[in-house]
Each structure stands twice: as C-alpha cells, then as structure tokens.
Amino acid sequence: MSEFLRDYLLVVLFIGLAGALVFGMLGAGSLIRPTRSQPQKYLTYESGVDPVGSGWSQSNIRYYVFALLFVMFDVEAVFIFPWATRLEAYGTFGLVEMAIFIFILALGLLYAWRKGVLRWI
Amino acid sequence: MSAAFAQPFAPLLAQPLPSAMFALEVPYWVSSAIKLGLVALIIPTAALVLGYVFLLKMMSFMQSRLGPMEAGPYGTLQLLADGIKFLQKEDIFPEKADRTVFALAPLVVLISTFLIYVVIPAGPNAVVAQLDVGIFYALAVSSLSVVGILMAGWASSNKYALVGGLRAAGQLIAYELPLVLAVMGVVIQAGTLDLQKIVTAQAQGEIFGWDGIGNPFILTQFVGFFIFLVAVQAELTQPPFDMPVAESEIVGGYQVEYTGFRFLFFFMGEFGTAFAFAALAAVMFLGGWALPWGDITHWGFNIAGPVILLVKVLAVATLIFWFRFTYPRLREDQLQRLAWKFLIPLALANIVVTGIFKVVF
C-alpha cells in the first residue's frame, strides 16, 4: 500500500475510533444505568407542559437563503486554495487573475447585500 | 554482567540516538495503534483540562467566586465526578424522536472532532498523518459537525431542538466562510497547505532579513488571526455566539432531548474541537511546535514539541475563553450581519493585500 493511501487509511481508522469510543462508553453505561420506564419520561420536552402539535414545525425561510449563499461562496473559496499555494510561481499574472476573481466574488456579495438578502428579518 | 548483557545492543548503542530511535522499523499497524490510542486519550483529557481550567476556574475567578472546591484538591476532579454521574443516567429516547438519526447525531459530531486531530503536528515526526492537503482537510472535517448538529435538532422532534439546530446550521455555515478565507493568507505566505511545512516556513522564515524569531505569521497575518479567532468562537457555538444553545430562550437548543452520555458526547465534541482549533491557530499563526532557534529537524523536538505546542494552545484558548466570558450574546441578525457584512469582506481584502505583498516584496 502506498504512503498516500496509508495516510488516508488512518483517517478511516479515526472514524472507527470515534465509533468505538461512543459505543464503548454507552456499552459501559448500559451495565450500571437504571431503566425504569414510565410513559411520561418519553414525552417531548416542552417546558414542563404537554407538547402541542408536532415537533417538526415550519421554520424561517431565511435559513434557506443563507444556506444558498453559503454554497456559492464556499465553492468559490475552494478555487482560491490551489492558487494560494502556487502564487510565487504565477507572480503578477496570478495576482491580477485572482484580483479579478475576487472582484467578481465581491460583486456577488454586494449584489446580495443591495438586494436585501443579507438583512435578517 | 553488564558487558555481556549489552553485547547484542552494542551496534544500537554505538549509533547516535536519533538514528537509533528512528532506525527501528515500526510496523505500520503498530504505529497506527499507538497513534489511535494516544489520540483517544488526548481528546477526553483535552476536554477535561479545558473544561476545568477555563470553564470552571477562569470563569469563576472572573466573576469573583471560587468555583468548584469540593471534588479533589481545588475541585480538580469535578468534571470526572460529573462524568461518572452522567454514566449512571437513564438512557432516554423520546417517543416521537427518529431513533436512528437521534442515536447517530452525537457520533457524527464526535467523528468530526476526532478527524481534525489527524493532521495537527506536535513535532517533526509526532503527527498522526502528514496529509498534503493538511489545513484544507482540517477545515473540511471540522464542518462535518454541522451535519451532526442538524441531525440532532431534527431527529429530536422537539420545537426547541429544531429551532436550535437550524440556528446552529445558519451560524456555522455563515462563519465557515471567514474561517476558510482567513486561512488563505497563511497559505499564500507559506505556499503550502501542509501543516508541517507551514511550521517549517515560520521557523525558518525571516523578517526583512532578520531571522531572530523566525517569522510567526501572526506578525503579518494579524487580520487573519483576528478573523480566525472570531470565526472559531462562532463555530464552537460559544458565547457571544451561543444563539443555537441559548439556555434562557430555547433551553439548550439541539441538546435538549439528550441525556447522560449522549449529552456528554456533545460536550466532549465542543471542548475537543476548541482544543483542536486552538492548536490549528497555534500551528498556523504562532509557529506551532517549533522554536525559531536551532535545528528543527532534531529528534528532541518530538519530545519538546508537544510541550511548546501545549503552551501556545493554552495561550490561544485563554483568548477564546476570555471572549466567551466577557461578551453578551449576539442576536441572530447581529451575528449574521457580523459574518456577511464585516468578516467576509475583510477576509477577501486580506487575501488581496497578502497576495500583493507576496508578489511585490
């Protein structure tokens, strides 16, 4: 196996480690913790009164708009990384290119700003 | 006796120590097992230490009180006692909850925390895996926790949890951008994503030809450091950015239905991530495990490195928690405004200015 794959195998092993920790601790807990079921214990918590309606209620559309904005900007941020590592080789050419890219990116932010999307109502 | 005993080891002892230490071919599985074991120890310990030093003691002293004093000397065992209490708590799944997702959510949060530790270097060889994409990978896996938190908020089938989960998602993704963009300045200066090479670049760097203290990037990237710290604060959902877990209005947000150890996993995730982010800040801005003097490839740094790194991590953590205990909570509109209208434009300007300086000078 190559060094490259070995490094990423460690990443996979760490996922397993987190799983082992979670299930190990819960398993250890299950040996000593009590289980006395009463129907009231399994009610949804709502400040001490009986829950009204469903827990999965409608929510604010704002979150959706911000998530869309995030996806656009995050994808563009990914493009800056490879440029940033190689700036020394590209010199002035790379700098001008990226200045244009960031200008367009900032223009998009400005557009969203002027449209009032960044205002939380 | 000693001569005869030492005979088989003579070739080994004749060599200078560094090559004797690293000439030993450690099988991959053994070294991996050691690394896994060490990190499995480090993360709960880091959560306990940060929790005790900062959450219990520093906050108490800043509020003119003593904090816990009963469990162990000066209350040092308080969090262990809390942990044992959590171990005995009944495991409750709410009737209406989506059981599978509800059970998996803390695991996803904890996986995200564990994966950051893979790339944090603590010495020239003391690193779990030296990935080429280092810092990019760390930022990518750290944002996995959003998924876990959203899962917890949704699966609880609770109005508070849903509001908390959505607030957390909205906040974490908003501050993800300044976090990523603030790092870009460091990447431009070092010319690499690899955290080990970022450390080397700082230790061997020079300021206008003077190499007395190397070139810790905080001197040139102080704007980036500031943005990074603010964004980290928000990523940890700590005050002043604790809208998602605001106790006084949504009773803990996405954590509200969790009991016992499942609740503790969120706590461990938060403080484990706080430690990891402080370590990332120390590595990228304060020079990491290296000192600017002497040969940084020396094997001694594998032992001194973790100590040096720990000192820097605690310094950064002090800053993070100082903010936490000082500022009042921001409203949802205020924190979105801070991210989108202040931090992101500032971070973009920082990238351009850093680029210009890199090319011109």
What are the residue boundaries of the structural domains of chain B, listed by start?
94-360
Q: Which range is least confidently modeled, A78-82, A109-113, B211-215?
A: B211-215
Tell me which chain B residue has its CA closest to the CA of residue A74.
Answer: B177
Tell me which chain A residue has its CA closest to the CA of residue B349.
Answer: A102
Q: How many CB atoms lie within 10 A of CB A68?
A: 12
| Closest partner CB to A57 (pick from B39, B94, B159) | B159
CATH 3.90.600.10 fits A59-121, yes or no: no
**Predicted local confidence at residue A121, as pLDDT:** 66
For range B345-351, the mean pLDDT: 89
Q: Which two tokens stand for residue B228?
A: 């990074």
- Chain A residues whose CB is inside 8 A of the B261 CB are 25-26, 29
Task: Name B210's bridge partners.
Answer: B207
Q: How many CA atoms lie within 13 A of A6 on its CB side?
A: 12
**B76: exposed, middle or buried (Cβ count in 10 Å: 0-12, 13-18, 19+):** middle
- At residue B20 the predicted structure's pLDDT band, cuts being 50, 70 and 90, is very low
Looking at per-residue confidence, does B321 or B302 come out higher? Answer: B321
How many CB pairs below 8 Å do chains A and B form together? Answer: 200
Segment 64-103 of chain A within 8 Å of chain B by CB = 66-67, 69-70, 73-74, 77, 80-81, 84-88, 91-92, 94-95, 98-99, 102
Please, are residues B332 and B243 in contact by the beta-carbon 8 Å criterion? yes
Q: How far is CA B247 from the centre of its chain?
A: 24
Tell whether B346 lies on the interface with A, counting CB pairs under 8 A: no
User: Is the pLDDT assigned to residue B23 strictly greater than 50?
Assistant: no
Predicted confidence (pLDDT) per residue in B71-84, tens digit: 878 878 888 888 88
**Cβ separation of A70 and B177 shorter than 8 Å?**
yes
Tell me which chain B residue has its CA closest to the CA of residue A120.
Answer: B333
Q: How far is CA B21 from the centre of its chain?
A: 30
pTM of the model: 0.85
Q: How many CB atoms lie within 10 A of CB B195?
A: 25
Place of tokens 């190689």: A86
For range B19-44, the mean pLDDT: 70
Q: Is B236 helix (H, G, I), strand (E, B) or coil?
A: coil
Percent of chain B with pLDDT over 90: 3
**Predicted local confidence at residue B16, as pLDDT:** 46
**Predicted local confidence at residue A1, as pLDDT:** 62
Tell me the CA distances in angstroms from B310 to B49, B123, B275, B318, B345, one per residue in order: 11, 12, 10, 12, 32
Concatenated DSSP letters for B123-176?
SSS--S---TTHHHHHHHHHTTHHHHHHHHHHHTT-HHHHHHHHHHHHHHHHHH
- At residue B24 the predicted structure's pLDDT band, cuts being 50, 70 and 90, is low
Q: Is A84 helix (H, G, I), strand (E, B) or coil?
A: helix
The CA distance from B326 to the nearest CA of chain A, in Å, is: 25
For range B79-104, the mean pLDDT: 85
Please, are residues A102 and B348 in contact by the beta-carbon 8 Å criterion? yes
User: Is the pLDDT assigned to residue B21 strictly greater than 60?
Assistant: no
| Closest partner CB to B92 (pick from A11, A19, A41) | A41
Question: Alpha-carbon distance A52 to A46, whole Å?
Answer: 8
Per the prediction, chain B carries an average pLDDT of 81
User: Is the pLDDT assigned to residue A52 strictly greater than 70?
Assistant: yes
How large is the C-alpha radius of gyration of chain A? 25
**Predicted local confidence at residue B228, as pLDDT:** 92
Question: Alpha-carbon distance B38 to B319, whole Å?
Answer: 27
**Predicted local confidence at residue B10, as pLDDT:** 43
- Chain B residues whose CB is inside 8 A of the A95 CB are 355-356, 359
Q: Which range is least confidently modeled, B7-21, B117-131, B226-240?
A: B7-21
Predicted confidence (pLDDT) per residue in A57-92, tens digit: 777 777 888 888 888 888 888 888 888 888 878 888
**Predicted local confidence at residue A77, as pLDDT:** 83
How many residues in chain A?
121
Question: Alpha-carbon distance B8 to B6, whole Å?
Answer: 6
Percent of chain B with pLDDT over 70: 91
User: Is the pLDDT assigned to residue B207 strictly greater than 80?
Assistant: no
